[in-house]
């Protein structure tokens, strides 16, 4: 059963409204108020499913009643039922958020108008609830992505330390033993085996250092520009792809969180280029103009299509996008003229609230 509040100063009009609704078969209970004070008391005391209101009442209008509902989180459907309102005033009232209007001479349609207003209200509330749930889900996803990135960085740092302490220490000890054997033997065959083992050992040491650098970018201690320069040089040496690096950083202090985000973005972009781009030229630009850190990694390869960006398993770029958001920035991916790909990270360098982003390099 619907609970209806009727704002009306005419006893006759109130009776006619009730009679019309009963004829329509609508199940309802109805309270009537005549003053704005009574109206406020009723809406504070009870929850109504529908409000019917005459437009002009002694000393106030339905607009004042509508304003009195502004403190309620969910306003019930508010229907103007008046004989003294023009078309323009009715349209203006609808624009304010009122549900509908109906002339008193046409009360036979009132039940239909009420049902429609309730359906629209229910649909609006369902949408608001869905939107709120979606926003909450997106916040949880962003928090999870940030936590995941933080955990990954911590694991990377832990693995890098183990490689340095265990594998690096063992390889260094082997190198010392080989040097000792080399000094204490003159047999040419043994010497050739020592040379081969030393060469392989040197290769293993280089690989372990490269892996440690990828896992834990200690070079960031030298600054973001130096770290990205090293990354570009290593990429060119490893892949043979010409890599140009340009930097113009005026800001002396950039937070470690932002530096790590920029470094990982460049690292992931170069990894994608080596796998998919089929290019022979890469350009990396790093600037902080207008107090915004901008990192752009471009190639002249085959490009990337929107469908590839939207793939369910395109976790690399999605992860970079979430990482950018965690420091108040954003990530753009474009294919200018359909040739090559540009990945652009932009991060405002003015202080922004972070969500407990933990730095994992010291």
Q: What is the pLDDT of residue 42?
A: 93
**Structural domain range at position 351:** 219-362
Residue 188 pLDDT > 50, yes or no?
A: yes
Q: 96, 129, 162 — which closes off a domain?
A: 129
Q: What is the mean pLDDT of residues 172-199?
A: 88
Q: What is the pLDDT of residue 358?
A: 42
Q: What is the mean pLDDT of residues 333-361?
A: 70
Q: Coil, strand, or helix at residue 101?
A: strand
| CA-wise closest residue to 337 among 285, 307, 301, 283 | 301
Q: 129, 147, 174 — which closes off a domain?
A: 129
What does the buried/exposed string (b/e) look like for 150-181 if buried means 16 or more CB atoms within 10 Å of the residue's CB?
Answer: beebeebbeebeebbeebbeebeeebeebeee
Residue 310: band (very low, low, confident or very high) from pLDDT cuts 50, 70, 90: low
- The enclosing domain of 12 has a CATH number of 3.40.50.2300
Q: What is the mean pLDDT of residues 145-152?
A: 71
φ/ψ of residue 77, rounded to 5: -55, 130
Number of domains observed in the structure of the chain = 2
Q: What is the percent of the chain with per-residue pLDDT over 90, rounded to a whole number?
A: 38
Q: What is the DSSP letter of 350?
A: S
Q: What is the pLDDT of residue 351?
A: 57
Mean pLDDT of the chain: 85
| Alpha-carbon span 359 to 231, nearest angstrom | 20
Q: What is the pLDDT of residue 20?
A: 92
Q: What is the pLDDT of residue 93?
A: 85
Question: Is residue 57 a part of any domain in this protein?
Answer: yes
- 361 shares a domain with 233: yes
- 223 shares a domain with 125: no
Residue 355 pLDDT > 60, yes or no?
A: no
Residue 289 pLDDT > 80, yes or no?
A: yes
Q: 113, 129, 145 — which closes off a domain?
A: 129
Q: What's the alpha-carbon Rg for the chain, to the nearest Å?
A: 35
Q: What is the percent of the chain with per-residue pLDDT over 70, rounded to a whole number?
A: 90
Which one is predicted more confidently, 86 or 18?
A: 18
């Amino acid at each position: 059963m619907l609970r209806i509040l009727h704002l009306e100063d005419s006893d006759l009009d109130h009776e006619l409204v009730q009679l019309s609704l009963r004829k329509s078969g609508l199940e309802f209970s109805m309270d009537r108020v005549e003053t704005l004070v009574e109206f406020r008391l009723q809406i504070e005391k009870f929850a109504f499913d529908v409000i019917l209101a005459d437009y002009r009442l002694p000393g106030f209008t339905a607009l004042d009643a509508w304003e009195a509902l502004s403190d309620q989180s969910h306003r019930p459907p508010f229907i103007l039922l008046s004989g003294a309102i023009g078309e323009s005033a009715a349209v203006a009232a609808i624009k304010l958020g009122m549900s509908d209007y109906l002339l008193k001479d046409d009360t036979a349609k009132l039940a239909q108008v009420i049902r429609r207003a309730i359906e629209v209200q229910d649909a609006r509330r369902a949408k608001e609830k869905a939107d709120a749930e979606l926003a909450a889900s997106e916040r949880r996803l962003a928090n999870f992505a940030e936590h995941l990135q933080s955990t990954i960085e911590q694991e990377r740092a832990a693995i890098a330390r183990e490689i340095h302490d265990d594998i690096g220490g063992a390889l260094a000890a082997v190198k010392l033993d080989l040097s000792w054997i080399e000094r204490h033997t003159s047999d040419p065959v043994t010497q050739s085996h020592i040379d081969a083992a030393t060469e392989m050992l040197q290769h293993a040491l280089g690989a372990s250092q490269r892996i440690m650098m990828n896992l834990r970018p200690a070079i960031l201690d030298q600054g973001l520009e130096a770290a990205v320069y090293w990354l570009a040089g290593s990429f060119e040496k490893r892949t043979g792809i010409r890599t140009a690096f340009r930097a113009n950083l005026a800001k002396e202090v950039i937070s470690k969180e932002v530096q790590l985000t920029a470094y990982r973005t460049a690292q992931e972009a170069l990894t994608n280029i080596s796998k998919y781009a089929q290019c022979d030229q890469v350009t990396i630009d790093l600037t902080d103009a207008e107090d915004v850190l901008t990192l752009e990694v471009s190639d002249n390869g085959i490009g990337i299509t929107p469908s590839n960006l939207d793939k369910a398993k395109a976790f690399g770029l999605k992860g970079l996008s979430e990482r950018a958001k965690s420091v108040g920035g954003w990530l753009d991916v474009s294919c200018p003229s359909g040739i090559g790909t540009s990945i652009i990270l932009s991060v405002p360098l003015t202080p922004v609230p972070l969500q407990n982003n933990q730095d994992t390099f010291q």
